Structure 1
Amino acid sequence: MTTDTPIWLRPERAATGRPAERSRAEVTTAALAVADRGGLSAVSMRNVADEMATGAASLYRYVTGREDLLDLMIDATAAEYRFTPPTGDRVADLVAIGEQGYAIMMRHIWLAEAVVTRPALGPNGTALLEHFLDVLAGHPADGGVKLEIFALMNATVATFARNTLAGTSASVAAQATYLRHVAAAGGHPRIAALLSTELPGAGDADARRRAALRAVLTGLLEHR
């Protein structure tokens, strides 16, 4: 069986070599712990093995390499969603899904980047997709369009999460300093007007995010 086969369709443990003493779930839990502390760049076979107090070579009984680890990690986070029956208000139900996704991404600070760069659908991800399609049952869009909306919803939520996580970074502070300089220097009246207004406080961030997500989803559903 080749590594082109999704890990969830491969045997839990290698058929050859020494008997496995751990489980794929344990490997996933260790990989999540490494990523939650150090980000995606910290995830390596060696670091995950160290987290499990074992040798890196032993992990190959469960996964073929780092790519498998990332797929398992991404899918594992989807188990944190809690599904409730659709209410009939499609947009509200999708916003609720998106808000759960945002909270999950804030708990796993590496996840927003991963969702955008390498989406992975395993057992938990497909359960999320099934719930999403249940919410959209009866909507006239075809299956391909619904999958596009699913991807766009996740990408939009990931963008909000990434912006929130970057909000206190030095680069964002430097950009704000430069914009204030530009506004003071003249020649950019609209930027100056924007910066002269009282921008909404941090306490309104959740409401603004939900409103923006609702607007995006409303537009996607009404024009498909």
Structure 2
Amino acid sequence: MEPEIIWLRPERAGVGRPAQRSRSEITAAAVAIADRDGLDAVSMRNVAAELGTAGGSLYRYVTSHGELLDLMADHVAAEYTLGACTGIWLDDLVDVGMQAREIHRRHPWLAEVVTNRPGAGPNGIDVLEHVLAVLASHPADDGAKLTAFAVMNAVVVALAQNERATANREGQARFMAHVVTEGKHPHLAALRLLPADSHEDVLPDVLRRILTGLLQ
């Protein structure tokens, strides 16, 4: 029998002492730990310590570490600002994508969670509903709309992961410069890339190109 998804289960098990905590408190504590110390630091014991309670008590509210991760991902999905649709679907979708990047920047652990535990809780469903409202009058079929949203999210997640992978960039740049000087890769040498210190934000244009291609 499949375990019941946390969103369909009561806030707390119906046995034992009256509830002293809420899922939202527990989730907020877990997010604070992940933001401060990284995802590996998120454990029932550490979350309980953050709340000043015993680790075992949390299992009355969350039955597993995986459920805690699901709660965390949905918690930060509440950070989207889902305003009224402007009537320009591409602008509205790019806005969602740009907000997603900022959320990932605030919560560097999020990319790993959404990659390994895909799905949506109540706040994530609100985001999806907003996207579908933006695309309500678009002639593309429902499958194409969902695919476009999924691809946009995947691009943002990949970019978030790439932004954090800074440790080897300097060495990689030196290696690429060495390869180019050897003269064996003329197409690589001919590339005209933005300088490393450029502040130009390419994501809006990238998202526009991708979304336009998928929802022609």
Structure 2 segments unaligned to the other structure (5+ residues): none
How many Å apart are 1:51 and its aligned residue? 1.3
Q: Is the 8 A contact 1:91 1:217 kept in 2?
A: yes
Structure 1 segments unaligned to the other structure (5+ residues): none
Within the candidate set 168, 178, 183, 1:181 is matched to: 178
Report which stretch shifted further, 130-139 or 145-154: 145-154
**Number of residue-to-residue matches in the alignment:** 216
Please show how residues 135-174 of structure 1 align to structure 2 within 5 Å.
135-166=134-165, 169-174=166-171
Q: Do residues 221 (structure 1) and 215 (structure 2) align?
A: yes
User: Structure 1 length as normaliser, TM-score?
Assistant: 0.89
Q: 2:150 & 2:41 partners in 1: Cα distance?
A: 26
User: Structure 2 length as normaliser, TM-score?
Assistant: 0.92
TM-aligned CA distance change 1:200 to 1:9, over 3 Å = same
Within the candidate set 188, 193, 206, 1:191 is matched to: 188
How many Å apart are 1:201 and its aligned residue? 4.1
Q: 1:76 & 1:123 partners in 2: Cα distance?
A: 9
Please show how residues 11-90 of structure 1 align to structure 2 within 5 Å.
11-90=10-89
Q: Is the 8 A contact 1:74 1:120 kept in 2?
A: no
Identity percentage of aligned residues: 53
How large is the Cα RMSD of the aligned pairs?
1.8
Equivalent position SS for 1:83: coil
Q: 1:106 & 1:142 partners in 2: Cα distance?
A: 32
Q: Is the 8 A contact 2:90 2:208 kept in 1?
A: yes
Deviations 1:77-136 (A, max 9, x none): 111111121112111110011111111111111112322332231110010000000000
Q: 2:190 & 2:81 partners in 1: Cα distance?
A: 43
Q: Is the 8 A contact 2:30 2:72 kept in 1?
A: yes
How many Å apart are 1:185 and its aligned residue? 2.2
Q: Do residues 103 (structure 1) and 99 (structure 2) align?
A: no
Q: 2:198 & 2:65 partners in 1: Cα distance?
A: 37
Report which stretch shifted further, 70-79 or 37-46: 37-46
Q: Is the 8 A contact 1:115 1:154 kept in 2?
A: no
Equivalent position SS for 1:91: helix
Runs of 4+ in 1 over 6 A off after TM superposition: none
